[in-house]
Structure 1
């Protein structure tokens, strides 16, 4: 077991674990750490905790130090300059007529690298673009191709539910979502109804999926013959979350609703 602290480099993103050494850190403290051999400012998002080494990367780095006012001022300057850098880079992409969409730009703390994130349909040969950008910004340039879900996470927005996107507000990592989840929940399979702004299946399909799976195990299938307090009938509808079964009795035209515990399946 080893003592570690969880740190994020984005407001919502992956948590990286570092050893605090003997220093005490509180939630939301800003700290300087090394990420892929580059110094970055991160935010403490979990208190000191014991974790098994098997659940951590091979090498657990230590926190370098607490960020000071000068570091924070540099971070703010970098963020402001990155906005202008992104606009310039977009112009270079248009000049080169490259089929790519620049999403974000970010300077490392010490400005020894400028990182651009982009989306594209396939692989892009951006070697000449990198040369153009290096000549303008006089620092190392890195272009990272990201997916459409990552794009939504970076840009944010309002989902079909009217709330801010889950991925941009609290989801640290993307969760696997399948069309089977939508089927199990009785949702329309129209892509416009079950897709988020990214064009992929909505992450929230996962939230209640476990409850639907459990309900399906407990409740009878559609078309199943059942015994009700009012006689025999056939299941014609299900409300899985409420555990309510709609049954058409053999001697009635109108379906009747029952709690699943009232039924006996054949």
Structure 2
């Protein structure tokens, strides 16, 4: 177990864990940290917590110190430089007639390099563009091609639920999401409703997938003959979320539909069989 603090570099994008050492830190504190890319400024997204780091792939980088007023002023200057670099890079891309879309610009706190993030359908030969940008800024230039999900994470925004995008708030890594997950959750196959801001399937489809898979295995299938407290019936519909089933039952010569919970169907679960 070790004390760690979660920090979002530049105040946007992915959250990383750092070693706070003996520094007292709190949520929203601005700090100077050592990263694999160099020295950078970030903001704490939570309090210091004690967690198991045995599964971490890399050794934790240290928090060097809390940011001073001078650090914040320098950070503000870098933000202005990033805005300027963004406009210049867009013009240069048009001049070179490159089929790429500039997404974001990040200037490292120590001003050792500027990173340009872009999206493109394929590989881009941007060597001449890098030379042009290096001559303008006299800094080390990096161009990084990212996917549409990373683009949404960098730009930010609100999801269809009305909350901040998961990838901008708490989601650390992207996991595979398939259309099968949407079907198992009985969602309408409407791309506008099951796609996120990035245009891909909603990441949140994966959150409850295991629960739906478990319920799908336990609940009876549509058309299956089941035993209920009111007698034998045929399953009409199944609600996996509520774990209920609507069943056709013959009562006094009339066929009615009744809703039963899974536990009630369990009374005759061993007698359940598929209709033929």
Q: TM-score, normalised by structure 2?
A: 0.86
SS in 2 for 1:85: helix
Residue in 2 that maps onto 1:90 = 90
Pair 1:193–1:124, CA change in 2 (3 A):
same
8 Å CA contact 1:236–1:248 kept in 2: the answer is yes
* 1:192-222 alpha-carbon deviations (Å, 9 max, x no partner): 3311121110112123333323322332112
* Unaligned stretches of 5+ residues in structure 1: none
Note if contact 2:14-2:153 (Cα within 8 Å) is conserved in structure 1. Answer: no
CA distance in 2, matches of 1:166, 1:67: 27
Shift in Å, 1:19 = 2.6
Q: Is the 8 A contact 1:4 1:50 kept in 2?
A: yes
Determine the C-alpha separation between the residues in 1 that align with 2:82 and 2:95. Answer: 20
Match of 2:223 in 1: 223
* Gaps in structure 2 of 5+ consecutive residues: none
* 1:238 matched residue in structure 2: 238
Which deviates further from its counterpart, 94-103 or 253-262?
253-262
- SS of aligned partner of 1:180: helix
Distance across 2 between alignment mates of 1:84 and 1:144: 18
SS in 2 for 1:255: strand
Tell me, yes or no, if structure 1 residue 43 matches structure 2 residue 43. Answer: yes
Distance 1:246 1:30 in 2: 55
Structure 2 CA distance for aligned equivalents of residues 116 and 81 of structure 1? 12
**Contact 2:233–2:248 (CA under 8 A) maintained in structure 1:** yes
Q: Which segment is superposed worse, 3-12 or 73-82?
A: 3-12
**Aligned-residue offset at 1:114:** 0.9
Residue 179 of structure 1 corresponds to 179
Report the aligned-residue RMSD.
Answer: 2.2
Instruction: Look up the match of 1:60.
Output: 60
- Provide the rounded CA distance (Å) in 2 between the counterparts of 1:133 and 1:209: 46
Report what 2:166 is aligned to. 166
Query: Which residue number in structure 2 is paired with residue 100 of structure 1?
Result: 100
Contact 1:233 1:248 in 2 (8 A): yes
Does the aligned pair in 2 maintain the 1:100–1:120 contact within 8 Å?
yes
Q: Equivalent of 2:260, from 252, 258, 262?
A: 258
* Alignment correspondent of 2:30: 30
CA distance in structure 1 between the aligned counterparts of 2:157 and 2:37, rounded to whole angstroms: 33
1:148 and 2:114 correspond: no
TM-score (norm 1): 0.89
What CA distance in whole angstroms lies between the structure 2 residues aligned with 1:238 and 1:228?
14
Q: Secondary structure at the match of 1:55?
A: coil
